[in-house]
Amino acid sequence: MGKKDTDVRMSLQTLKVLEIFLENPTEQLAGAQVHQRCGIASGTLYPILLRLESAGWFVSKWETIDPSSLGRPRRRLYRLTSTGLRRASEVFASFNRGVLA
């Protein structure tokens, strides 16, 4: 996915995802964890994650673990970029966080 900064179509689900990441901008979250926190179904969640990554708001990388020791496969982790942090903050500032209240 590219690193360019482009506009992202804002939907309520997209704002929910951004809000999860804005709670701790340095935290890396897998899709399963985002689902646990905001309850967005997988059919909607993964297109949003890919859309934000394609727009340069997110970066993703594989989890660096030993699957045999943990007994589970590695996950794909997403993190806000500096651009994504700035743009997401602007979006919520414009909405004054009233949309998600």
Partner 1 sequence: MSQRDERSMQPSMDGLAHWLIHHAARRAPDALSSRLEEEWLADLEARSSALSRLRFALGCCWATLVIASEYPRARVAAASAAAAGRGLVTLVDRNFGYFSLRSGTLFLIAGLHAALFYGLVTTLAHTRAAPPITDLVNRSVPEVPHKKLPLPQPSAELPKWIIDVPKVVDVRQEPDRPPDVVAKAAEEPTEPNWPGTETPPQTPPHIVKHVPGGTGAGFPDTADFYPSLSRHLEEQGISVVQVCVDTNGRLTSDPTIVTGSGSMRLDEGARKLARAGSGHYRPATEDGHPVNSCYPLGIRFQLKY
Tell me what percent of the chain is helix, strand and coil, each rounded to the nearest 5. 50, 10, 40
Measured from the CB of residue 101, what is the shortest distance to partner 1 in angstroms?
27
Give burial (CB, 10 Å; 0-12/13-18/19+) of 15.
buried
Measured from the CB of residue 27, what is the shortest distance to partner 1 in angstroms?
16
Measured from the CB atom, is 68 or 96 closer to partner 1?
68
Q: What is the DSSP letter of 86?
A: H
Q: Is residue 73 a contact point for partner 1 (CB under 8 A)?
A: yes
> What does the per-residue mask of binding to partner 1 show for 29-68, with x meaning CB under 8 A?
-xxxx-xx----xxxxxxx--xx--x--------------
